[in-house]
Amino acid sequence: MKDPLPILWSSLVDDPSVSVTKKNFRDLTSYNWLKGKTSTIAVPGHPPIWKPKPAGEATQLKKDKGRTFVNENAARCPVYPMEPLFRSLAISAPDFDFGPISLIIDRASLRRLLEFATGQAPKKKFTLNVQRFGGLTMIFNHSEKPKAKGGFGGYGDGFENAFTRWPKGLEHSTRHHRVVEYEFGGMQMLVRFEADAAIMQEDAKEGLPIGWATSDGQIHPTPDGSSIAVCRSGSAISYTSIAEMKTRHSGKGRNMGAIYPQIWFSNTQHIIIGTHKDGLFSDVVPTDVRVDCPERQYEGNDGSLGDWELKNRVQLSKLGDMLRKICNVAEGHQEAFTVRYVDRTMLEVKRQPNKVWLPRDVVQWIGGSSTTANC
């Protein structure tokens, strides 16, 4: 069988009748990766908690060293990188109905595809893995080298470690990941992403499923074929508490242009920018980027998230069209394939015969075919 036709940038359509505003946004599940030889997640886990320094107190940090994960999900689950999403969802919402869901995707993939939709060359070429299961399509970022590598030479990891702390009982965590559901471009989507920190609020648990905040600290068995262990530990919090953390050198200003898509796709409502001079940080405070906080402005930036959405409506509309095109390809070819960035004009689509990106029991839960589930 021949490979499907490529997806051309010139074919992307802006349909003004289709809203690009995220609708019916809600938290679904979350998990922490835990240190150890066994790949273990804690559900629901908890993000690191923001711990500000006293006003006027400076903090000197050294450049990041050592090793860090480029893509921990792929490194810890090389056979099924999206499996943790489903294992955590099985704990937090075991009766979840995948019927209305059109797309399951990670935030990194959305960011890459948006770059292509804008007609811009991405910072680096990318490849996405795609597969159809039942009535939904799953897309996630392909990592050639997901395992730990040397530090990036900045202060990002040190900044997060110095200004946050893991909650009691989760001190051995490495990363916190979240899964949310919303409608975008006429499609009901599940989106997975990494969260840097939590700014604790009185309404932190508002809107979450009843009973999701309980923990027993025990390892829960997973079906045969699973590549991870699951520990029920932590407490669930609302997306309204989540913050993205970034560092900026004082001589480079605060240009948030590249940050907006990242926080828009996850509906992250707080940004913590640590401005430093050669690693010396002082007076770091969170900023609220919600639509109802129009006073939040940085020089040269797009204002609130609502302002950014309005300014980028056409690009977001083309992104929606591209996602539908990828889903149509997946529906017509009941097998895995990759979508690879070639250049600004084209995404190459290449079949991956006999590849199945989810364990048998997860495929059956979703409602995939018996042939797809033949792992």
Residues 188 and 140: their CA atoms lie apart, in Å, by: 16
pLDDT tens-digit map of 57-113: 899 999 888 777 889 999 999 999 999 999 999 999 999 999 999 999 999 999 999
Residues 334 and 373: their CA atoms lie apart, in Å, by: 11
Q: Which of 133-142, 219-228, 297-306 has the largest mean confidence?
A: 133-142
pLDDT at residue 373 is higher than 50: no
Among 194-203, 246-255, 285-294, 316-325, the least confident range? 285-294
Quote the pLDDT of residue 102: 98
Residue 185 sits at the vertex; the CA angle it makes with 181 and 191, to the nearest 5 degrees, is 25
pLDDT at residue 151 is higher than 80: no
Q: Strand 336-343 and strand 346-352: pairing? A: antiparallel
> For residue 182, how many other CB atoms are within 10 A of its CB?
18
Quote the pLDDT of residue 371: 46
pLDDT at residue 374 is higher than 60: no
Residue that wins the pLDDT comparison between 74 and 249? 74
Q: Are 362 and 86 in contact (CB under 8 A)?
A: yes
Question: What DSSP state is assigned to residue 306?
Answer: H
Structure pTM?
Answer: 0.91
Quote the pLDDT of residue 333: 85
Cα radius of gyration (the chain): 20
**Percentage of residues in the chain with pLDDT exceeding 90?**
67
pLDDT tens-digit map of 273-328: 998 989 999 889 898 887 544 334 444 355 788 888 999 999 999 999 999 999 99
Average pLDDT of the residues of the chain: 88
pLDDT at residue 353 is higher than 60: yes
pLDDT-derived band at 125 (thresholds 50, 70, 90) equals very high
Strand partners, 21: none
Residues 35 and 70: their CA atoms lie apart, in Å, by: 16
pLDDT tens-digit map of 2-48: 898 999 999 999 999 999 999 999 999 999 999 999 999 999 999 99
Residues 188 and 99: their CA atoms lie apart, in Å, by: 10
Strand partners, 139: 105, 130
